[in-house]
Amino acid sequence: MNTDGHVRLLPIVVANKIAAGEVVERPASVLKELVENAIDAGASRIEVQVYSGGRKIVSVRDNGCGMTREDALLSLERQATSKIRDVDDIERIDTLGFRGEAIPSIASVSRFTLITRRADDDEATKLVVNAGILSEITSCGSPSGTTVEVRDLFCNVPARRKFLRSCATEETHIKNVFTVNALAHPDIGFSLSIDGREVYNFAPGANLSERIHDIFGVDFVDRLIPFESSEELPVKVHGMIEKPNSCEMARHDQFIFVNGRPASDTSIAYAVKDAYPRLQDNSRPALILFVDIDPTQVDVNVHPAKREVRFRRPRDVKESVYSAIRSAICGDKYICQNESVFAANEESLTPSSFVAPFSSAQVNLPDGKDDCFVSGQIEEEKIEPQKIEPIITDVSTGENETRNIIEKDSEISSVTGPWKWFVFLAQAENGFVLLETDSGLVTLNPRAALERVVYEKLLKEEKTISQQLLIPETVQLSPHESSRIKGFKGELEKMGFQIEEFGKDTWKIDAIPAILSDVSVSSVLSSIATDISELGTRRGGNLWKEELTAKCIAKSCAGEMPKLSSQDAVKLVNSLAECRMPYVDPRGKVTMIFTSTRELKRKFNIL
């Protein structure tokens, strides 16, 4: 190494190798750059061939716009690109590749062949580059579009070649890059062959659901629900997310695309986490999310490999992602999709009153009888179960089918919920309730179901009950927190607080919401201020109430759960089905485990 301290310009070959160190990590990196170029070229069909895990060959053929000979030669130069013209274009990038580094970087560390033709040209141009040195420029016959073949990757950089993994590992990375791009652009046809064997072949013109089906299979699609942001939100988002009661959780893949580019951003991750029911063990749902935003509002040039983006207004993105996902898994559009067929069950959750530790949080149960205090303990009414013969209505035909349930206390009910109908089969000795539904079997945790029902009844209460403090409390906040609370003071008073400034960044609390009777007031105010800062006024103001209500309900429902009669079990299931989020309890534990009929047949090897 030269250490004389003089500054010199690097030879172009050396500069390209250094750039290749950033752009070309492994064969999958080559594939990513070439596929992105094909997409930017307007291709409707992209064919990929790989041999020996990409060590020997990575070939990408597209039917895009192609290049003239002059353009093809310029593409071998660093910082040569067709996608930006001046510095202003950097602020509104709407293509996948734009830096002009990929082609020369790849060509500098491989035996590189490019064949390209525009539709109006009579012949194609063929360029051959050996380890960064242009060795051939010829004309040839070829369909319109571009074919790039990369052979012997890292042929002149043996140290880099030694760091490649096994062929199987490199093929896995290649498949990941391929499927991500195929998922991002379902309108484009994609095919992948590995060592001469076709692995994937996706037809063009597909929608998102069809492309997910092609890549991951029908069972995975069945566990997803679609979501889309409303028109009034500043950022448009859409996609599909895993249903909260899908407990197989075979996949935890999360695919996030910003203007068609696979990318990540912390604001999106936080919004998804806030919108989705809490899951145990830090699990996360499968997610395919598309964010469509004005290119001037996002910086895609943050990461050398363009894996991360930065939004100018991250709160707008958070709000759109949160609202779209939350409305899909909690809103009427999904939960009440069968409302036109079945009327909601109007009966109360239990035949008798609740006894409660909530000092003043009353709930009006739907039977219209008495205001009852909420508790997790059901005083079981002595009801003799009856043998009945369920009558099940087929929604599609309107015909009735008689089904005999042998030696089971059964009831049939129609609800506006996650199923068109269900039959209560039994409650096991361990407390779990077994149901048959229109599409499979459900095992229900009655305690978790009860917590969800009570939780949503409390959150729906329009009348907020305040509890006067015997001795007013004073709370010292940081300047930032105090500023947030000051701007949110009106909303806090609607929630049941009586609060006023009591000196610099100090607040006097005279009354609090009744549900907070056992909670530190100072920690609550600090938490609310933080939530408002991170999530915005509307979401931050509600988050504290949801969290604390969940904790209080869990505490009240502690103890042994009594065995339910068949009538009480049916009422509980009906009440759960009417909830906005019936799949998990307030703490994120699942209320039910669903096993589809198709899954049962597969496990029993029934075709």
Task: Provide the domain limits for residue 512.
Answer: 338-607
Whether residues 388 and 472 share a domain: the answer is yes
In whole angstroms, give the CA distance from residue 116 to residue 139.
10
Q: Find the farthest-apart pair of alpha carbons in the chain and give their distance in angstroms, rounded.
A: 97
Q: Which residues contact 538 (CB under 8 A, 6 or more apart)?
A: none
pLDDT digits (tens, 9 = 90+) for 334-363: 332 222 222 223 233 332 222 233 322 333
Let me know if residue 257 belongs to a domain.
Answer: yes
Q: How many domains does the chain have?
A: 3
Tokens of 325: 């996902």
Identify whether 514 is part of a domain: yes
Domain match, 297 and 342 both: no
d(CA 83, CA 96): 9
pLDDT confidence of residue 160: 86
Report pLDDT for 424: 92
Distance (Å, whole) CA 540 – CA 506 = 21
pLDDT digits (tens, 9 = 90+) for 194-206: 999 999 999 999 9
One domain for residues 89 and 146 = yes
Quick one: 416 and 496 in the same domain? yes
pLDDT at 496: 80
Q: What is the mean pLDDT of each run of 10 residues along the chain (607 residues)?
A: 63 62 84 93 97 97 94 81 48 53 88 96 96 94 96 91 92 96 96 97 96 90 89 89 66 84 86 79 84 87 69 89 85 33 29 28 34 31 38 40 41 62 90 91 92 81 76 87 84 83 89 73 74 58 64 68 88 89 81 87 83
Q: Could you tell me the pTM of the whole model? A: 0.67
pLDDT of residue 123: 96
Residue where a domain terminates, one of 330, 351, 382: 330
Beta-ladder partners of 595: 441
At residue 374, the pLDDT reads: 31
User: Which H or E run contains 103?
Assistant: helix 102-107
Distance CA 521, CA 537 (A): 19
pLDDT at 232: 80
Asked if residue 467 and residue 398 are part of one domain, the reply reads yes
CATH number at residue 306: 3.30.230.10
**In this predicted structure, what is the pLDDT of residue 362?**
33
- Shared-domain flag, residues 32 and 112: yes
Co-location of 250 and 198 in the same domain: no
Q: What is the pLDDT of residue 480?
A: 83
Strands (DSSP E) along 216-312, which ranges? 224-228, 236-242, 254-258, 261-262, 287-292, 298-299, 310-311
Residue 186 lies in a domain: yes
Are 412 and 318 contained in the same domain?
A: no
